[in-house]
Amino acid sequence: MARHNFVFLYGRVTKNPKILVDDEGNFVKGQCMLTTIRGDRSPDDDEFVNFRRDCPVILTKAPDLIYEMSQWHENDMVEVKGNVSTRDIPRITHCEHCGHQNTKKGVLLYITPIYCSKVESCSSEEECNELLKKKCEISNQCIVAGNLCNDPEFYIHNNGLCQTQYQIALNRKFRVKEDPPEIKTDFPWIKSQGESARLDAQVLMKGSSVLVEGYIQTREIEQRAICEECGQEYKWKDRAMEIVPYSTEYLLNCRSIEEIQEEEKAAQEKAFSDIFGTN
């Protein structure tokens, strides 16, 4: 299938970038968190309302891009074009009951830039926010295509919001020369909402191919873990980054509406038969 992996960000430098150099002063790694903005369109006047902010992480080992990043400072406005990347990382937490250190496998989603540049500097966060609101249409854009690694998980929150989440295998469009050559695939999580979530749960399955146009969402979440030492449950704070679709195109190996209707009809007939019996 075609390789689609595109991210464009226009955002505020949340904190001064972290720049790592070796003993000889050569750039080794650059990391920066941006603040982007998105909003809902008002049905009355088509203006954006309910602004929400996300903080995607930019990570690169390319010396020229690290140098560019080293010139950034907090409250600079920057543009980044890049790709969605992921890597396995250990999530280290400490049990609140016995203090034991527990390790759990996690997935870090970040943006590998192929271009980045400072646009302008602002004197305050408030000034940055005004610029972000004016450009919220382009502040956080993402287009990816991949195959589902698992069947979708559908659930309904206490407030009635429907969500579906699934992980996709995303082939890299560009090789990241600083990464090992065997790494050619990334595994981001997709999280759809509302009626789109209901349809995703019905249509998609492991192996389905999708094209997703959306944005990078970041959020703080509360996780639960069982301590390996004392066996008690404890809570810990985690940070999630995922792709939320504006739209999803179903490409290959997806259930058709006709198949879904047939499955629903068969389930209804079976339920009727179980309750009332058959002649």
Query: For each successive 10 residues of the chain (279 residues), what is the average pLDDT?
Result: 85 98 96 94 69 96 96 98 92 94 91 96 95 94 96 93 95 69 87 94 96 95 93 93 95 86 73 70
pLDDT at position 50: 84
* H helix and E strand count, the chain: 4, 14
Under 8 Å between Cβ of 113 and 82: yes
Q: What is the pLDDT of residue 178?
A: 59
Report the largest interatomic distance among the alpha carbons of the chain, rounded to a whole angstrom: 85
Those residues whose C-beta lies under 8 Å from the C-beta of residue 32, and which sit 6 or more positions away, are 13, 14, 15, 17, 18, 57, 58, 69, 72
pLDDT at 25: 94
Quick one: pLDDT at residue 80? 98
Q: What is the model's pTM?
A: 0.87
Residue-level pLDDT at 66: 97
